[in-house]
Chains A and B, each alone.
Chain A
């Protein structure tokens, strides 16, 4: 089932009815739609003038039933995922895989050994039906309420598909779980919802990949990620977003971290025409920690407005933000960060590093780190640098027989290398290849 362009209350009701959702979810959707209709676009950040919200198809069903066997996925859709190497990765090193095509999940599977330990890895639509109590408790309430901003309101109204993960107390998932989101239709929107609950003492690593082919009209991605890290748990969320260069990527990611819990955000952003994405951590209880590492590449015509936010609300909470950006051609990379150490967050620390490289005379880099320190026993440190590649280093590599292009790629590889080390090996290789492809011919 597809819808016409634009969004109406009737469409929202239809989406909910098609998914056979309980009344409370329909109510949530309608409330979000009502807020969305009354809320203007954000007043900060890059221009969204090219985004015609009336010219987006908000729901596009792949018309395929979800399966746990690649053999049952239609050949044309299956080929997309084989080209992306997803089934091979699943076989070699993943604990589970989900694949979403436009608005619907087409494949979902978790290793039996994890399922036996009580780990839930489901399509979000299915989770609403199978685990209503868990979903109702956590979905768009405390972590990312729909009222957060214009695009969480939109997301709350039209969300479809995505991933639900629950890791029971004390269970440590050693193999990463992965979901891959593909937006294939022109002028479409993708609004997948990811909800991760790491119960006390558990551990989970989750990876998302995103892509879309390029059409002449703009597309919109307004996903939402909610992560709950309970006492002593650890959750690592990695994403490589390589949307087509006419996609507006207005994504929201937030984690609530409880006593001695730890959340890690690893992000690689290189596609889309405009990205606005600031993974956020709210450190609610003593000893909670957050680490956000990001790599962004802004190429021709791109504005990558990314960063991270951390709010320290309890004593002895700690955060680290490290961001690396590469701007080439007329691309613009913006680091927009926010760290607040609240009055009762005694003996807390936050360290922020953001470095930018400019590869073109018309490229641009902006650093806007907002820091707010309200407890005099705590400390915030921040450092940033922006500049071109070191001419002496390039000269040295030229003297070793490399050409300028090779030397540039080697130095860019070194610039982002320390963040690659945090990624699972296969993803570090993929991200490295993507960056290499983007700066080829520089």
Chain B
């Protein structure tokens, strides 16, 4: 079996493999990959003309790093990450390396962090030199409650001029106004928070 980026290469993915593998999304292929709760480092190589939709739902403490290498031109990557953590620490990282022209990536992360939980969130969109027509967006939003803590580093590393890249990050408390509104509709505090959490994570 071959290796790449120092990791073992595979074209398939199951949660059992959960770490230290590279999944190859072949040229022209459309793939959906769900991390299925597996922990560890996951690397994905995307070849020319391929489309990847990657999803994850983090509900336990642990390390969840995902590195996506867009090596083929005219390919698209979408990352959808949900986080619901009430205990322990989750270390979540999304990095997308644009190594070819006409490539697109979107990262969207939403998390609700409560009690004594802690989330460390890092992300990076990297556009390498001499590659043109690159688009990258990353958006991360966290709701925090109780004694929860969130640290974030959403980075952009752009070494070419023909790009449109942006990122945003918000770490905000759950809206008391919305909870009060739901109280007026007959929901108690727990029900109101659950409704707001569910709607927030509905992406």
Number of chain B residues close to chain A: CB under 8 A: 32
| B63 in the interface (beta carbon within 8 A) | no
Q: Is A367 touching B167 in the complex (CB atoms < 8 A)?
A: yes
Contact between B156 and A386 (Cβ–Cβ < 8 Å)? yes
> Does A363 contact B161, Cβ atoms closer than 8 Å?
yes
With contact pairs A367-B156, A372-B151 given, residues A361 and B166 touching in the complex (Cβ less than 8 Å) = no
A359 surroundings in chain B (CB, below 8 A): 161
Partner of B155 from A360, A367, A379 at Cβ < 8 Å: A367
User: Contacting B172 at CB < 8 Å: which of A364, A372, A381?
Assistant: A381
For A344-367 the 0/1 string (1 means CB < 8 A from B) is 000000000000101111111111
CB distance from B127 to the nearest CB of A (A): 9
Contact partners of A411 in chain B: CB under 8 A: none
Q: Is B171 a contact of A364 with CB atoms below 8 Å?
A: no
Whether B158 pairs with A369 at a CB distance below 8 angstroms is no
Asked if A373 is at the interface (CB within 8 A of a chain B CB), the reply is yes
Instruction: Tell me the count of chain A residues lying within 8 A, CB to CB, of chain B.
Output: 31
Interchain CA distance A399-B192 in the complex, whole Å: 55
Cα–Cα distance between A377 and B163 once the two chains are bound (Å): 37
Whether the Cβ atoms of B151 and A370 lie closer than 8 Å is: yes
* B180 located at the interface, meaning its Cβ lies under 8 Å from any Cβ of chain A in the complex: no
Q: Does A422 contact B (CB under 8 A)?
A: no
- Point out the residue from B146, B166, B171, B172 that lies within 8 Å of A385, measured CB to CB: B166
Inter-chain contact A366/B158, CB cutoff 8 Å: yes
Interface centre among B146, B161, B165, B167 (most CB of A within 10 A): B161
Of B130, B144, B162, B163, most buried by chain A (CB within 10 Å of CB) is B144
Judge whether A371 and B160 touch: CB under 8 Å.
Answer: no
Q: Are A386 and B163 in contact (CB under 8 A)?
A: yes
Any B CB within 8 A of the CB of A380: yes
Contact: B173 with A376, CB < 8 Å? yes
- Tell me the minimal C-beta distance from B153 to chain A in angstroms: 5
CB within 8 Å of B: which A383-439 residues: 383-388
Contact with A371, one of B130, B146, B169 (Cβ below 8 angstroms): B169
Docked complex Cα distance between A287 and B165 (Å): 35
Contact of B158 among A360, A365, A370, A379 (CB under 8 A): A365
Binary A-proximity of B74-102 (CB < 8 A = 1, otherwise 0): 00000000000000000000000000000
Among B144, B146, B154, the residue within 8 A (CB) of A369 is B154
| CB-based contact B153/A368 at 8 Å | yes
Q: How far does the alpha carbon of A376 sit from the alpha carbon of B129 in the complex, in Å?
A: 40
**Does the CB pair A383–B167 fall under 8 Å?**
yes
Complex Cα spacing A379 to B174, Å:
10
Flag whether A117 is at the interface (Cβ < 8 A): no
User: Which A residues are CB-close (under 8 A) to B161?
Assistant: 358-361, 363, 388
**Restricting to B155-198, which residues have a CB under 8 Å from any CB of A?**
155-173
For A363, list chain B residues within 8 Å (CB).
Answer: 161
Give complex CA distance A373, B143 in Å.
Answer: 11
A381 x B155 contact (CB < 8 A) = no
Q: Which of A360, A367, A379 contacts B170 (CB 8 A)?
A: A379
**Nearest Cβ in chain B — how far from A262, in angstroms?**
23
Closest to A332 in B: B159
Please tell me if B65 contacts chain A, counting CB pairs below 8 Å.
no
**Shortest CB distance A306–B (Å):** 15
| Chain B residues positioned under 8 Å from A374 (CB to CB) | 149
Q: Give per-residue flags for A78-118: 1 if the beta carbon is below 8 A from chain B beta carbons, else 0.
A: 00000000000000000000000000000000000000000
Assess the A366–B157 pair: CB atoms within 8 A: yes
Contact among A364, A370, A376, A388 for B159, CB-based, below 8 A: A364
Bound CA–CA A373/B157 (angstroms): 23
Partner of B129, one of A362, A366, A381, A382: A362
In the assembled complex, which residues on chain A have CB atoms less than 8 Å from the CB atom of B173? 376-379
**Known contacts A367-B167, A370-B153, A373-B151: A379-B172 contact under CB 8 Å:** yes
Chain A residues, Cβ within 8 Å of B164: 385, 387
User: Contacting A376 at CB < 8 Å: which of B130, B147, B152, B162?
Assistant: B147
Given contacts A365-B158, A386-B158, contact A373 B171 (CB under 8 A): yes
Q: Are B168 and A386 in contact (CB-based, < 8 A)? A: no
Chain A: which residue is nearest B167 at the CB level?
Answer: A384
Interface centre among B129, B130, B156 (most CB of A within 10 A): B156
Name the residue on B nearest A378 (C-beta).
Answer: B173
Closest-CB distance, B19 to chain A (whole angstroms): 26
0 or 1 for each of B9-26: is its CB under 8 Å from A? (1 = yes): 000000000000000000
Nearest Cβ on chain A to B164's Cβ, whole angstroms: 5
CB distance from A312 to the nearest CB of B (A): 13
Q: Confirm or deny: B150 has a beta carbon within 8 angstroms of a beta carbon on chain A.
A: yes
A residues in contact with B144, CB < 8 Å: 373, 376
Contact A382 B150 (CB under 8 A): no
Chain A neighbourhood of B172, CB < 8 A: 379-381
**Structural contact, B171 and A380, CB atoms closer than 8 A:** yes
Contacts A379-B170, A380-B169 hold; do A366 and B155 have CB atoms under 8 A apart?
A: yes
B168, A384: Cβ atoms closer than 8 Å = yes
Q: List 14 A-B contacts (CB under 8 A).
A: A358-B163, A361-B162, A365-B156, A369-B153, A369-B154, A370-B153, A371-B169, A372-B149, A376-B145, A377-B173, A380-B172, A383-B168, A385-B167, A386-B165
Known: A370-B152, A381-B172. 18 other contacts (CB 8 A): A360-B161, A361-B161, A361-B162, A364-B158, A365-B158, A370-B151, A371-B169, A372-B151, A373-B144, A373-B152, A376-B144, A376-B145, A379-B172, A379-B173, A382-B169, A382-B170, A384-B154, A388-B163
Residue ranges of A at the interface with B (Cβ–Cβ < 8 Å): 356, 358-374, 376-388
- Complex A-B, nearest 6 residue pairs according to Cβ-Cβ distance, in ascending order: A358-B161, A385-B166, A379-B172, A376-B144, A383-B168, A367-B156
